[in-house]
Chains A and B, each alone.
Chain A
Amino acid sequence: MNQMSIHRDGSVEPPTPTPTPTPVLELDRASVVFPSGPPWRRRRVPAMREVTLQVSAGETLGVVGESGSGKTTTAMVALGLRRPTTGVVRFEGASMPRRRRALAGRMQVVLQHPQWSLDPRMRVGRSVAEPLVVAERLARRAANTTSGAINGSSSGSITDAVAVMLEKVGLDASVAKRHPHELSGGQRQRVAIARALITRPRFVVFDEAVSALDVSVQAQILNLVVDVQAEYGFGALFISHDLGAVRYVAHRIAVMRHGCVVETADTETFYRTPEHEYSRQLLEAL
């Protein structure tokens, strides 16, 4: 399955992003193997086979594939939540730090299930503020150990930041006082996006972020993703089984199957005729 990787990166970039020399995120021949079964009969199940991907600042790389194709594992590896068995992951040119906290605030994620994207016991405002609070606490701690100079923000400015962010994603600032169960699925995904963007991350993963939403709401969230990406210029990995959604938000698309990237091409190609037969099947199924 491995021989079909077709890379056509950098040939024709879509108009918006100007690719920086170092990609924000880079997977270099990353493979992941899961052990499976009891210890005495352990089998090794490959989930990712030598996946090579690059995401530049301001660019959205779409990853499309069936479940079991390894796209969620790819997301976990890109987020540093799982180490690749072999291969390298680089974030802003440096290899992934051993401790995830070193990346706090610079990398965020928006996940699939609107009903679980926010802690049901927390008010929306606190959920949105959390990444910022954590990042500032860590920054202050780092600053304290090196020098005394800090410019920590007060709780007032955090509240303001939350309000600004909520309005940015099309919600009223008063939503901050509500609990997640008082919001609709689409509103919760908006809040999840606000939460992800509040630290101005360099890299954001959207893992099936619209899949569980009603079709009419999907369009709203997809538009929001396109808009905030254009505004904040982060690099994004947009993962979905739905080629239609991926094609709409991504600048380039990687097609995954059985743990391999079988085709990487500009989005344009996926409106016409992709090269790989499997990509064509996906297109026809739309």
Chain B
Amino acid sequence: MNQLTPAEPVVVARDLVVDYLAAHGPVRALDGVDLAVDAGETVGVVGESGSGKSTLGAALGRLLPSRAERRHGSMHVAGHSVFDLAPQPLRQLRRDQLGFVFQDPIGALDPTMRVGAQVRRALRGRQPSPRRSTRDAVAALLDQVRLRDPARVARAYPHQLSGGMAQRVALAMAMAVQPRVLVADEPTAALDSQVRDEVLDTILALTRAAGTTVLWLSHDLNAVARRCARVVVMYGGRVVEDGPAHAVLARPAHPYTHALASSAPSHARPGERLTPIPGRPPLLAGPAPGCAFAERCRFVVDRCATERPPLARVNGQAVLCHRAEELRSTAALPLPARPTDIPAEIGGGR
């Protein structure tokens, strides 16, 4: 994993705090995110809606809505401090270093333009490979994302495509410039389940070939753990657990990760009742005084509510929990044995 690349991490967030300005006061979306991602890593960012994962993804390209405001901290992408860039270099960074794939693929494409023209646009400013017309370049790109009939797709309008095809087109456009970092925000949430696996496979194969770093934002811990080397769990606008996928899934170190994993129905054994996480995710107005999960946590102690948990290292995982060490040593967070346990090498090696 990250020990193989001694170079600078390509994405670095330092204590990043972002608020949304709502009519009734600010809502805290990111409450001090610390994250470093090395070049070429495939990171699954897991969180429920409202956990801040989409805000984090948007912050990478400073694509936050106008009512969002960075309050504190920094975000570096490929060495540039994103929030301090002037408009021109920021555009350049977005164009050359970043790719985005969003949830609604058809909405991400311009309905009035043929697909080919849009892909050509994404290629603009890039030197096409010598002696190759842009038409070929477009076809090659569409072929790369495993669209069956690239020429026909290029002539089509977005509404003529299925969701899966449109998402592949969006991926082709995002990858046209071979960006350093690809942010995929729930890329398959709007797709049919059959197509989901194919699209995810395409995304990961393509980015691996190009050496692109991937941040895949999802609410599905299992799906992410199956495909990513590293999993980052977000809750209440913070990264609460960060570690190798197989370790996070097999031995979650944060009570929230554990609760999330055990609430998945595919974990339940016959006749066993699911244990949902009680309560609701917090809606923060300012910095959380303690641990944001404290209200819903089975292992809560007094200081959880008043003291922000510092970063703890438990085995290979970085955890924001006061009792992380203790819970690990007492094995208080057991997971039901899964019928199909994930072998370590799927999560770990690449």
Contact = CB atoms under 8 A, between A and B. Distances in A.
Interface of A: 66-68, 184-185, 214-220, 222-223, 241-245, 247-248, 267-268, 271, 283-286
Tell me if A's interface is mostly helix, strand, loop or mixed. Answer: helix
Interface residues of B, number: 28
Given A68-B194, A216-B277, A244 B270 contact: no
A285 B220 CA distance: 13
Given A216-B48, A218-B265, A286-B339, 17 more contacts: A67-B192, A184-B280, A185-B49, A215-B48, A218-B264, A219-B263, A219-B274, A219-B275, A219-B277, A223-B273, A242-B266, A243-B266, A248-B274, A271-B269, A283-B340, A286-B222, A286-B340
Interface in B252-306: 259-260, 263-270, 273-277, 280
B276 A219 contact: yes
Contacts of A68: 192, 194
Given A244-B266, A247-B265, A284-B340, A222 B194 contact: no
A215 B263 contact: yes
Nearest to B163: A67
A216 to B, nearest CB: 4
A216 B48 CA distance: 8
Contacts of B260: 215-216
A148 B233 CA distance: 64
A242 B265 contact: yes
Contacts of A283: 339-340
A68 B193 CA distance: 10
Contacts, number: 75
Given A68-B194, A184-B280, A244-B265, A215 B219 contact: yes
Interface of B: 48-49, 192-194, 197, 219-222, 259-260, 263-270, 273-277, 280, 339-340
A267 B268 CA distance: 13
Interface of chain B, main secondary structure: loop
A138 B220 CA distance: 45
A242 B266 CA distance: 9
B170 to A, nearest CB: 20
Contact of B194 (A67, A220, A271): A67
A195 B281 CA distance: 25
Nearest to B226: A285
A216 B280 CA distance: 9
Nearest to B264: A215
A205 to B, nearest CB: 19
Contacts of B219: 214-215
